[in-house]
Amino acid sequence: MSIPTTRSTSDFAGVIALAEQIRNGDRTAVDVVEEHLARIDAGNPELHAFNLVMADSAMAAAATIDGQIAAGNPVGVLAGVPVALKDNLCTHGVETTCSSKILQGWKPPYNATVVDRLAAAGAIGIGKTNLDEFAMGSSTENSAFGPTRNPHDPSRVPGGSSGGSAAAVAAGFAPFALGSDTGGSIRQPAALCGVVGVKPTYGTVSRYGLIAFASSLDQIGPFTHSVADAAVVLEAIGGHDPMDSTSLPRPFPSVSGVLDRGVEGLRVGRITDLPTGADDDVNGRLDAAFAALEAAGATIVDVQVPAFTFGLTAYYIVAPAEASSNLSRFDGVRYGLRVDAPSTGEMMAASRAAGFGDEVKRRIMLGTYALSAGYYDAYYGKAQRIRTLIAQDFAKAYAQVDVLMTPTAPTEAFHFGDKGDNPLSMYLCDLYTIASNLAGHPGISVPYGVGDEGLPIGVQVLAPALGEPVMFQVAAELERLASK
């Protein structure tokens, strides 16, 4: 099921349009779910966007929604709209694996907060999507259950780690999906698959029920076909959650109301000391985006963010360190895979050796080393100081501009195996996304044309913490300009 690269996001009904059709009685939720299940049945064997399709529960939920509408009862803003859920979000009684053998068959006894909030808004979970194991990767090649393929060209990766979610939306398997973003794992696959992907401000969307990779960096966000759809989804899942100690005690910023304001008078920052590494066609699309915004009334301001270039280095100390701690819970004792052995210690070692893939083991070892006695200050402590420096440099830049704009990913989607033998090359896929995770700031990737090989390219808009309104304002204008 190869999707032509000329396909427009308007070829698939979006979240807002579908919800309105269902509420108005123009379509039934059952029909909508059946349509998407048929697409999944036809295309998922090739693309492998889903680890698990929840057909029976989705149809039952759709019938319930239709019954509520027929009875004249109020329904949520997302009523009847199917959603694909990254397979590191806990779903009560439904297998949640993180695409790892160590959790294969595990069924959580509770829902993630975002899953409950989607259900309250009437959205219907249609399946659990594939990912790089424990969200560690940039290509979805690290899944224990096989890779996901890019719908625009199945010989290429969809990006990662949320590649299954990005591919599901790009292929029309679901109008929207949720992913998690630790260093770019929503925005980078969104760029490679030609959809919108958002990482909100850290703490604005609950992480309760997200199986942790790096707790101070992880954040949940949506994939959609449009900026407006992303705004509606974030408003449904965002806001304070007492179950998450890092949740900000405030509502999610209102963003839907700013999408038609344009960019007249806004200051858009161009980072002059941005790390090099993007392909010429990617830089060309970024330059075109700057020119289009300027023509639309924005002022382009050259700024510097010197510490941006250190983001990749700091991230690959902080994130593995937190992962080594978080993944220590998977020991073969309480849940998940257990490999029998003569002693408890041998059982734990054997279970972890059999259950974790190579990339997860690599990051656990890197993190354990960085946290070990004698190296903590030299590595982890220094990385945290760089993290502070990045936040300070961002603050100086945002004193001069309203948003910053960069490439999302350095390249178009690459072929399977191109970077698998070179971890550093793979890590560089997140060159432009990592800094905002370290600072806790929001970022959005918006499709902005295609590159030399006819594959999607995304432009990234960054904003200061809680700057989602102005970020969405600029992103919506970019989307309009890209369609001209």
* Residue range 240-276, pLDDT digits in tens: 999 999 999 999 999 999 999 999 999 999 999 999 9
CA 2 from centre of chain = 22
Rounded Cα distance between 383 and 365, Å, is 17
Residues recognised as catalytic: 86, 161, 185
**Residue 422 pLDDT class (50, 70, 90 cuts):** confident
Q: Report the CATH number at residue 112.
A: 3.90.1300.10
Q: Over range 170-188, report the average pLDDT.
A: 98
Residue that has been written with the tokens 């980072």 in this structure = 271
Residue 204, domain member (yes or no): yes
Q: Residue 82 belongs to what domain range?
A: 9-260+443-461
Within-domain flag for 316: no
Q: What is the token pair recorded at 27?
A: 């379509």
376 within some domain: no
Residue 91, in any domain of the structure: yes
- Please determine, for residue 187, whether its predicted confidence score (pLDDT) is greater than 70: yes
Q: How far is CA 266 from the centre of its chain?
A: 27
Determine, yes or no, domain membership for 190: yes
Do residues 126 and 203 lie in contact, with contact meaning Cβ atoms separated by under 8 Å? no
* Confidence band, pLDDT 50/70/90 cuts, at residue 7: very low
Number of domains within the chain: 1
Digit-coded pLDDT (tens) for 129-156: 999 999 999 999 999 999 999 999 999 9
Specify the residue for token string 């502070």: 388
pLDDT at 484: 82
Q: Is the pLDDT of residue 392 over 60?
A: yes
Residue whose entry in the numeric block shows the structure tokens 């699309």: 285
Q: Is residue 180 part of a domain?
A: yes
Give the sign of the dihedral formed by CA 192, CA 453, CA 229, CA 75.
negative
Question: What share of the chain has pLDDT > 90, as a percent?
Answer: 94
Q: Once rounded to an integer, what is the mean pLDDT over residues 33-61?
A: 98
pLDDT digits (tens, 9 = 90+) for 424-454: 889 999 999 999 999 999 999 999 999 999 9
* 35 in a structural domain: yes
Residue 236 belongs to a domain: yes
Question: Mean of the pLDDT values across residues 112-117?
Answer: 98
